Chains A and B, each alone.
Chain A
Amino acid sequence: MSTTSLVRIPYRVEDERMIEDMARWMRFVAVVTLSCGLFMLFLVLFGGVLVTLLASPHLHHLGHGRAIVHAQGGVTAIAWAAALALACAGIYSGTVLYRAADDFDRMARTDGADQELLVFGVHWLARYFQVFVVASVLSVVVGLVLVVAYMALAAA
């Protein structure tokens, strides 16, 4: 933190309105991202339970489904782990984006700690973009791995 901090950054009225507007859209995106992350987490956990049941040796009557899980066990595990990681990334990025929006909104609406709120908002926003980039790279890598794995399985 700097040893000096501006109590108020003299934004024009229209700039303050624009920042409030930005915070509103950021909050909306954050809430939708968080909800999608939670829904995906539910689906991933449900899918994990289903796959575990299919792999169980006690469930002979599931025949075909069991055969698929056994044949593609490694690939299924990679896809499941990646989906779990992406669901967690969605929940985390939604949370940090909401915090950033909250800080920017308070910076625009109040006077008293404008610079501190600006720096906090920038910190959370940087974290949001960082998670987004890491999740995007992970998606691409896992997607490529899955394509190669399925092609290898199909060839076998």
Chain B
Amino acid sequence: MTRIQTDDIKGPVELAQIPLGAAELDQFFRLARWMAACGWINMGLSAVELLNFFTLHTPKNPATIVSALLKIAIASLCIQGARAFRNVAGTDGADQRELVLGFGKLRTLFLLHTIVMVVSLVVAAAVIAAALVLYLAMR
């Protein structure tokens, strides 16, 4: 394998083309395909949640709306990220810009995931603590 030195590149220069081989291009297309699938699944699940919320005659839980909105946000980030990674592999002209754009979407996506996980863990811990306190108080 020939290693291309780019140490002579200084300053804000962006690569128009990253020299990816066929197998490497395939990895990018695979990532774009599965990311987009993940986005559309989240979009579908949010649509089902919203449909249930507005059509079923059961007590309305506002958490359903929050959950649906989170899924829409995750879906749009996945779809936009997938488009950026597809452009890295499918087009030449702004490969590095598209790559950084895709990483930006991934960063926001995983930050959102982290916030959701932390909030879920805190809520779960609070519920378990409350149940324990109630149990001990009743004994």
Contacts and interface: CB of A to CB of B under 8 A. Distances in A.
Contacts, number: 122
B111 interface: yes
A126 B41 CA distance: 16
Nearest to A15: B100
Contacts of B78: 129
Contacts of A77: none
A71 interface: no
**Secondary structure dominating the interface of A:** helix
Contact of A6 (B18, B35, B106, B113): B18
Given A2-B23, A28-B117, 12 more contacts: A4-B4, A5-B4, A6-B18, A7-B3, A8-B5, A10-B96, A22-B107, A26-B106, A28-B114, A29-B110, A126-B34, A136-B45
A70 interface: no
Given A22-B107, A29-B117, A126-B34, A8 B23 contact: no
Contacts of A4: 1-4, 19
A115 B107 contact: no
Contacts of B96: 9-11
Given A9-B15, A133-B34, A122 B110 contact: no
Contact of B2 (A3, A15, A21, A123): A3
Given A123-B27, A126-B31, A11 B100 contact: yes
Contacts of B13: 10
B21 interface: yes
A122 B100 CA distance: 13
B62 interface: no
